[in-house]
Amino acid sequence: MSRYEEAGVSIDAQDKAIAKIKRSVASTKTNRVISELGSFGGLLDISFPDMTHPVLVSSADGVGTKLKVAFEMDHHTTVGQCLVNHCIDDILVQGAKPLFFMDYIATGKLEPHVVADVVDGMAIACKQNEMAILGGEMAEMPGFYQAGDYDVAGFIVGVVDKAKLLTGEKVQPGQCLIGLRSTGLHTNGYSLARKIIFEEQKLGVNDKIPGFSETVGECLLAVHKSYYPELWPLLEAEKIKAMAHITGGGFLDNIPRVLPQNCSTKIDLKSFPSLPIFDYLVEKGQVSQREAYRVFNMGIGMIVIVDADDSDAILAQLNADGTQAYRIGEVVEGQRKVHLID
- For the chain, domains (ranges, CATH) are 3-164 (3.30.1330.10), 176-341 (3.90.650.10)
Output the pLDDT for position 1. 60
Cβ-based burial of 46 (10 A; exposed 0-12, middle 13-18, buried ≥19):
exposed
Enumerate residues 6+ apart whose C-beta is below 8 A from 200: 284, 285
Task: Tell me the C-alpha distance between 17 and 56, whole Å.
Answer: 31
pLDDT at res. 224: 98
d(C-alpha 52, C-alpha 161), whole Å: 7
pTM of the full structure: 0.93
Nearest to 82 by CA among 186, 183, 185, 193: 186
Cross-strand bridge partners of residue 179: 303, 326
Average pLDDT of the chain to the nearest whole number: 93
How far, CA to CA in Å, does 26 sit from each of 37, 110, 123, 172, 233?
8, 22, 9, 45, 27
What pLDDT score does 37 carry? 75
Enter the DSSP assignment of 50: T
- The per-residue pLDDT for 17 is 63
| pLDDT computed for residue 294 by the predictor | 97
Closest by CA position to 176, among listed 310, 294, 11, 16? 310
Instruction: Return the exposure string of 149-183: e unless at least 16 CB atoms fall within 10 Å of the residue's CB, then b.
Output: ebbbbbbbbbbbbeebebebeebeeebbbbbbbbe
pLDDT of amino acid 14: 65
User: Which ranges constitute the DSSP H helices of 60-182?
Assistant: 66-73, 77-92, 112-128
* Segments in the chain below pLDDT 50: 3-4, 6
Question: Interhelix angle for 112-128 vs 77-92, to 10°?
Answer: 40
Give the angle 51-52-58 at the CA atoms, nearest 5°.
Answer: 60
Provide the pLDDT for residue 221. 97
> Rounded distance, CA 268 to CA 119, Å?
39
* Percentage of the residues of the chain whose pLDDT score is greater than 90: 82
Q: DSSP E strands: which ranges in the chain?
A: 54-62, 97-107, 132-140, 150-161, 176-181, 242-245, 263-268, 300-306, 325-333, 338-341
